[in-house]
């Protein structure tokens, strides 16, 4: 089968700090190396709704406050609705840091001001103010949000390795589950040991690094989910994997992962 994926990159110009575009590079290359054709659709300010709807996988990175305000202004009602529909209909997506917060219900500033967000995911974020330190450092997370097994190999337990750097503390509502359990680091809020969130095939996380290069099985899961959603539309979300991706050598990935895991005293 000649697979083809359209990857939608939401606001590459504005929502892209901390090397987040590395995630796009990884998704694209891991597809190409397997003969899966990819098209990267850059969805910048004023993007066309049909372009968004044509995507099989979505990605949005973090941003500076000012940039995020510009994006918020660009997110007109019909854009929010279209994105919400895609999330509800199980289009896979990865949302990092600022984007993760942005998909929630609201962001509460230190002075109590409530900034409404897109209200797509059942979560909210609180900025506790300048007296509380930003949550910064290397982080290890036991992945719970997605099955990283493939029909040919089982990796049911997988540890995500990354770097977090956020002032906001995120709390999850009833209708959403954490992406994983924080083993070392702060995660969503530094208290409840949760990190990130997943709802259907949408994944939010605070992990930079960027997240995908050092967590190739998570990257492959996103690719697999996108292919399954596109080519096997009747398969239920969260079911066991059916499409088998050919393996890619992970020597370098494993060395990069274990270098950090060793420092954090985490077993991979």
Partner 1 sequence: MNILLVLFGKLLSTISRFFNLGSGSTWPGHLALLINKNFIKDLLKNSKIKVILVTGTNGKTTTGKLIQTVLEKSGKKVFQNASGANLLNGIASSLLLHSSILDKINYDYAIFEIDENILPFILKEITPDYLILLNLFRDQLDRYGEVNTITKKWQKALSKLSKNTTLILNADDPQIASLRRHLEGVNIKFFGIDSKNNTEKTQHASDSIYCPNCGEKLTYISTYFSHLGDWICKKCHNKHPQETFTSSPFYPLSGVYNQYNTNAAVLLAQALGFDKEKITASLKGFKPAFGRQEILDIEGKKAQIFLSKNPTSFNESLRTIASLNAKTILIVLNDRIPDGRDVSWIWDVEFENYVDSFEHIIISGERCYDMALRIKYANSLKNQKIAIGQFNNLTIEDDLRKTIKISLSKIDTKQTLYILPTYSAMLEVRKILTNKKIL
Residue numbers at the binding site for partner 1 (CB under 8 A): 13, 16-22, 25-26, 29, 32-33, 45, 64-67, 69-70, 136-138, 163, 165, 208-210, 213-214, 248-249, 251-253, 255-256, 259
Q: CA 146, CA 144: separation in Å to the nearest integer?
A: 6
**Residue 199: strand pairing partners:** 202
Told to judge if 234 belongs to the known catalytic residues of this protein, a careful annotator would answer no
Do the Cβ atoms of 260 and 141 come closer than 8 Å?
no
CB of 171 to partner 1, least distance (A): 24
Q: CA 42, CA 166: separation in Å to the nearest integer?
A: 25
Told to judge if 208 belongs to the known catalytic residues of this protein, a careful annotator would answer yes
Nearer to partner 1, 18 or 231 (CB): 18
Nearer to partner 1, 88 or 250 (CB): 250
Nearer to partner 1, 137 or 151 (CB): 137
Do the bridges between strand 159-166 and strand 4-10 make them parallel or antiparallel, or are there none, so unpaired?
A: unpaired
Tracing tokens 């083809």 back to the chain, one arrives at 4
CB of 66 to partner 1, least distance (A): 5
CB of 250 to partner 1, least distance (A): 9
CB of 63 to partner 1, least distance (A): 9
Do the Cβ atoms of 204 and 100 come closer than 8 Å?
yes
**Residue 192: strand pairing partners:** none
Nearer to partner 1, 70 or 115 (CB): 70
CB of 18 to partner 1, least distance (A): 4
Do the Cβ atoms of 167 and 123 come closer than 8 Å?
no
CB of 157 to partner 1, least distance (A): 22
Q: CA 167, CA 16: separation in Å to the nearest integer?
A: 17
Q: CA 220, CA 50: separation in Å to the nearest integer?
A: 26
Tracing tokens 């590395």 back to the chain, one arrives at 22
Catalytic residue among 55, 97, 117, 166: 97
Nearer to partner 1, 30 or 169 (CB): 30
Do the Cβ atoms of 4 and 39 come closer than 8 Å?
yes
- Spacing of C-alpha 172 from chain mean position: 15
Nearer to partner 1, 67 or 144 (CB): 67
**Residue 150 DSSP code:** B
Q: CA 239, CA 146: separation in Å to the nearest integer?
A: 10
Do the Cβ atoms of 123 and 106 come closer than 8 Å?
no
**Residue 153 DSSP code:** B
Instruction: Enumerate the active-site residues.
Output: 97, 208
């Amino acid at each position: 089968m000649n697979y083809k994926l359209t990857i939608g990159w939401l606001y590459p110009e504005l929502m892209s700090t901390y090397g987040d575009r590395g995630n796009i590079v990884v998704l694209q290359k891991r597809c190409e190396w397997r003969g899966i054709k990819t098209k990267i659709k850059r969805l910048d300010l004023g993007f066309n709704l049909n372009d968004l709807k044509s995507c099989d996988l979505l990605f949005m990175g973090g941003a500076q406050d000012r940039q995020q305000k510009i994006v918020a202004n660009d997110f007109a009602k019909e854009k929010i609705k279209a994105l919400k529909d895609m999330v509800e209909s199980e289009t896979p997506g990865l949302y990092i840091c600022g984007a993760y917060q942005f998909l929630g219900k609201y962001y509460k500033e230190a002075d109590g001001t409530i900034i409404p967000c897109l209200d797509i995911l059942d979560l909210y974020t609180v900025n506790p103010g300048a007296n509380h330190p930003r949550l910064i450092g290397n982080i290890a997370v036991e992945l719970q949000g997605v099955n990283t097994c493939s029909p040919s190999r089982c990796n049911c337990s997988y540890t995500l390795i990354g770097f977090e750097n956020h002032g906001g503390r995120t709390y999850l509502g009833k209708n959403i589950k954490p992406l994983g359990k924080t083993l070392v680091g702060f995660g969503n809020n530094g208290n409840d040991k949760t990190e990130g969130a997943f709802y259907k095939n949408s994944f939010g996380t605070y992990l930079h690094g960027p997240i995908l290069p050092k967590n190739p099985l998570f990257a492959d899961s996103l690719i697999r989910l996108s292919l399954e959603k596109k080519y096997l539309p009747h398969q239920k979300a969260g079911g066991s994997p059916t499409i088998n991706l050919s393996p890619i050598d992970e020597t370098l990935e494993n060395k990069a992962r274990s270098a950090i895991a060793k420092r954090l005293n985490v077993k991979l």
